[in-house]
Chains A and B, each alone.
Chain A
């Protein structure tokens, strides 16, 4: 079945770049997402990329997609304390009924 894998923890010093990696198995994935979840809150969509793109940049966020290797990454430049959260990688197909499959989330810890 479909699966999304990501590392569980990442520690980064404030001001450095954070890179969160994700791999997925479904070759028919059309949309790939990055969500941020702060404690006790819902999901906040950070950014998404279509499968026909290989890069998307939005301010401090850069998403890279290697469709051949089914590898997705999220780079956060100049990491701030407010970036401390859990980041979920997710994928879905293009049908309206296609469910979103989530990874287990990467907890980003910011070191002073």
Chain B
């Protein structure tokens, strides 16, 4: 299957600093990328949907000024957590969607980034 690489896999940062997480589709062009957040022992919650070259669409309750998403190319999307606070500590997972010929679409997931804000 297609490979999605997410970097870094874990990061510890000080409160008030910003952290950037990268999501790359290695062997396909992803027209759409999704960013999810997972709290301990809970399901994945969609944060935002981004299409290459356009502004991300954020889910209700997600602060777009805090979670900056850039999807500059068909193989790269970035999520920047600005002015991080301990409550932002979580597991962040990206997903890239690819359209095969015709109708079918599939989504592939990165391995996730564990962010700890101290």
Contacts and interface: CB of A to CB of B under 8 A. Distances in A.
B21 interface: no
Nearest to A4: B43
A90 to B, nearest CB: 8
Given A88-B43, A96-B105, A99-B46, A42 B111 contact: yes
B75 interface: no
A55 B20 CA distance: 41
Most chain-B CB neighbours within 10 Å: which of A31, A35, A99? A99
B112 A103 contact: no
Contact of B51 (A48, A92, A97): A97
Contact of A105 (B32, B43, B93): B43
A10 interface: no
A92 B44 CA distance: 14
Interface residues of A, number: 22
Contacts of B110: 42
| B-side interface mostly | strand
A96 B43 contact: no
B43 A43 contact: no
Contacts of B101: none
B43 A42 contact: no
A82 interface: no
Interface of A: 31, 35, 40-43, 45, 48, 88, 92, 94-105
5 contacts: A42-B111, A42-B112, A97-B51, A98-B105, A105-B43
